[in-house]
Structure 1
């Protein structure tokens, strides 16, 4: 396996980056890179996917992982986005090597990562800057999508006024101590949630709608009847059985939410 390492100059948020090109290609033209970077002295490992045969710069999409951490599912979503014509970066919110195999570990990692909203934003913004600086990316066109924990992260970035074109939350927590302010929310927002999701009850759904209406945000919310938490992840059923968790994969909800996401990106990036 040939590996090429590139050092990028330090940037704000103490961002230092080393890129390692992965060996295999998902398709003949798709490239994947394992990306090591630091934020405020802590090391993180992300994953970049893009088509190096496509001409010109294209929009970039950040992928924020579930509470388990930066895993294969997050990387697969980045690859799907690359196949759809985007450069995608599956970022790391926990730190290199922090990948949970038990819900208790996932809860601990999530609690540590979110103890300070400034820390959450710093880690997100470092990844955003890294993606925007990639040779294949038009840095003025960036979206973010997140799953479960990651869905809450991207919604909070929208609440904080981060410059994004679109934000997509899949079965993410919708409540937050941060409240959107009128005129501050910049991206168009899509939220996909399960009508039978015990982790995202209906009061969170209704509160989000009111919050975003009051803030003047452009929100589209889809609730799939009878669908449970983690509906996009084919591995959810195995986890549900192993840990007796109220989660389940739903093929139709996964398909419809993905198609809705691609339509959103095509629309917001059409200029």
Structure 2
């Protein structure tokens, strides 16, 4: 009997003890202190692929942290990045718009802050620095697409209901990352013209990309708080469980191809 108990302990104790490691991390880009959230599960392996999670325009909130934890449960070390600095966030559209414009209105600032987060993640001992990807939601989706356009060294970028328009389209041969765009077909923030322009841009650049439209899905379709936030800010936001689940599965499929052996 004691041998059976010992065998059970050897086989199952690591799984019973496994838990997510969560760490609030401060890092810098220029003079700005950025406050990220790092999470991983060391039971998933010693050298894990890394994934950067870029928040919606509300800032690095609990939703972005939740997505980072979900990635850690899949075997990735995830860093939810702070694009605004000092962990600024809001649930008011006017404040969020001001935060966003403060970043996007300065040439090179978004990339500087993104690269600072990438450097932090790549330097973690449990991360395979050669396998780093990025996902983003809304503002974050546009951010990761722009990083791919600029040739940032990433295995893949995935945009969930992100803006597609850009003033700096990708040049031929510049895009290194696999690109997956997951869009709501009923998203009034993304026009048919911008979709057409994006596809033409990707074709001219020779990018390896996929564009998926989810019928009936509106802006922010992955966020369960979208209806509440939309109502409070008089914005056409809505959660869509089907599109949420299907888009997360599409992300996993791509990551299985490019990040896992």
TM-score with structure 1 setting the length: 0.88
Q: Which one of the candidate residues 49, 59, 64 is aligned to 1:59?
A: 49
Q: Which moved more, 1:228-237 or 1:200-209?
A: 200-209
Structure 2 residue 222 is matched with structure 1 residue 215: no
Q: Is structure 2 residue 257 aligned with structure 1 residue 267?
A: yes
Between the aligned partners of 2:146 and 2:87, the Cα distance in structure 1 is 25
Please name the residue that 2:4 is paired with.
Answer: none
Specify the SS of the correspondent of 1:131: helix
Q: What's the offset of the Cα at 1:70?
A: 0.6
Aligned residue among 54, 62, 85 for 1:95: 85
Contact 2:184/2:215 (8 A) holds in 1: yes
C-alpha separation in 1, matches of 2:87 and 2:117: 17
Q: Where does structure 1 lack aligned partners over 5 or more consecutive residues?
A: 1-26
Corresponding position of 1:136 = 126
- Find out whether 1:118 has 2:97 as its counterpart: no
The answer to whether the 8 Å contact 2:91/2:229 transfers is no
Deviation digits for residues 33-71 of structure 1 (CA, Å, limit 9, x no counterpart)? 001111101111000010022332010000000000010
How far apart in 2 are the matches of 1:267 and 1:40? 35
- Provide the residue aligned with 1:177 in structure 2: 167
Q: Which of 214, 217, 225 does residue 235 from structure 1 map onto? A: 225
The residue that corresponds to 2:75 in the other structure is 85
Bigger strand share: 1
1:108 aligned residue (76, 87, 98): 98
Of 8, 26, 38, the match for 1:36: 26
CA RMSD of aligned residues (A): 1.1
Aligned residues: 245
Name the CA distance, whole Å, in 1 between partners of 2:44 and 2:260.
17
Structure with more contact order per residue of length (Cα contacts < 8 Å, sep ≥ 6): 2
Gaps of 5+ in 2: 1-16
Say which structure is richer in helix. Answer: 2
TM (norm. structure 2) is 0.92
Residue 161 (structure 1) aligns with: 151
